[in-house]
């Protein structure tokens, strides 16, 4: 049997800290005691120690405890040390091998999408030469990940985007008409998924889903892509489920607790 090096007092203190969440942002001593299952005197000593180290703060007026500055400092440190590409890679490899298609991970920089990861399936398939490469820049209006980012902009920022971007045609199916693009962006917003039908690269179809951070902000997008003829109605239905599942899992890793549609 492995040695148990758990320190009981530290364990109890950490459990008390974890009681504070979106539904319990502020609690009295009695409430903390009730939720933790510890007696009030023990809880009081733990809370006092946590206060001394700025992990807990106390409001003398309301007699309530809440999380202190040290918690937020540690949280920010952990958040900014997270590498989205590194965290996402296991999920991207799994979905690539499950679908035998190419998976992209992209982020928005200014008015364009930057590819930060590209994963091929292990199975040998003769793929066309994708325009997309890691570090490559693609327009937002004619790519699935890009349109999802546009769908998350405020009306004012979306209007600003269209005022400053050149709507260039890359393939015969590239949508450049503003009215049609507005409809595609609205559909992406409504369905939380985007379908790019060979608009940036001829013969390449893709389905994309968003990735959120702890605040609910879209920080990246993930896409499944392949030859257009590979995407039968059944494959499209399955791919939507798969890409949303991956988007949700990565979002959870970044602390997102909201609804993922």
Q: For 52-69, what is each residue's pLDDT tens digit?
A: 999 999 999 999 999 998
The answer to whether the 8-78 and 82-254 domains have the same CATH topology is no
Give the pLDDT confidence score for residue 131 in this predicted structure.
Answer: 60
List C-alpha distances in Å: 84 to 58, 110, 115, 192.
Answer: 35, 18, 12, 20
Could you tell me what percent of the chain has a pLDDT over 70?
A: 93
CA 46 to chain centre: 35
The CATH homologous superfamily of the domain defined by 82-254: GAF domain (3.30.450.40)
> Domain residues of the chain, as ranges?
8-78, 82-254
Contact predicate 189/157, CB 8 Å: no
pLDDT at 240: 97
- Distance between CA 65 and CA 87 in Å, rounded? 34
- Average pLDDT score over the chain: 91
Q: By 3-state DSSP, what share of the chain in percent is helix, strand and coil, each rounded to 5?
A: 45, 20, 35
Position 1 scores a pLDDT of 40
Specify whether the CB–CB gap between 180 and 171 falls below 8 A.
Answer: no
Low-confidence ranges of the chain (pLDDT < 50): 1
Contact 12, 49 (CB under 8 A): no
Are the CB atoms for 194 and 208 separated by under 8 Å? yes
Reported as a single tens digit per residue, the pLDDT across 109-138 is 888 998 999 999 987 665 555 666 788 889
CATH fold for domain 8-78: Arc Repressor Mutant, subunit A (1.10.10)
The number of C-alpha atoms within 13 Å of 73 and in the hemisphere containing its C-beta is 7
């Amino acid at each position: 049997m492995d040695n148990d090096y758990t320190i009981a007092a530290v364990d109890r203190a950490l459990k008390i800290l974890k009681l504070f969440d979106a539904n319990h942002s502020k609690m009295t001593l009695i409430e903390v005691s009730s939720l933790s299952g510890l007696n009030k005197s023990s809880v009081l000593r733990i809370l006092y120690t946590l206060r001394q180290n700025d992990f807990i703060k106390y409001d003398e007026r309301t007699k309530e405890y809440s999380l202190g500055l040290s918690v937020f400092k540690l949280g920010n440190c952990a958040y900014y040390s997270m590498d989205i590409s590194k965290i996402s890679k296991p999920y991207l490899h799994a979905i690539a091998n499950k679908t035998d298609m190419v998976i992209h991970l992209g982020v928005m920089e200014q008015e364009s999408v930057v590819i930060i990861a590209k994963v091929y399936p292990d199975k040998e398939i003769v793929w066309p030469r994708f325009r997309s490469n890691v570090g490559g820049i693609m327009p937002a209006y004619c790519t699935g990940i890009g349109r999802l980012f546009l769908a998350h902009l405020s009306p004012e920022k979306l209007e600003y985007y269209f005022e400053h971007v050149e709507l260039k045609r890359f393939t015969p199916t590239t949508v450049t008409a503003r009215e049609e693009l507005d409809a595609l962006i609205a559909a992406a917003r409504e369905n939380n998924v985007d379908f790019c039908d060979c608009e940036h690269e001829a013969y390449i179809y893709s389905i994309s889903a968003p990735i959120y951070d702890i605040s609910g902000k879209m920080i990246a997008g993930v896409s499944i892509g392949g030859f257009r003829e590979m995407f039968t109605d059944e494959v499209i239905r399955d791919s939507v489920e798969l890409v949303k599942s991956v988007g949700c899992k990565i979002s959870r890793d970044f602390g997102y607790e909201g609804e993922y549609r």
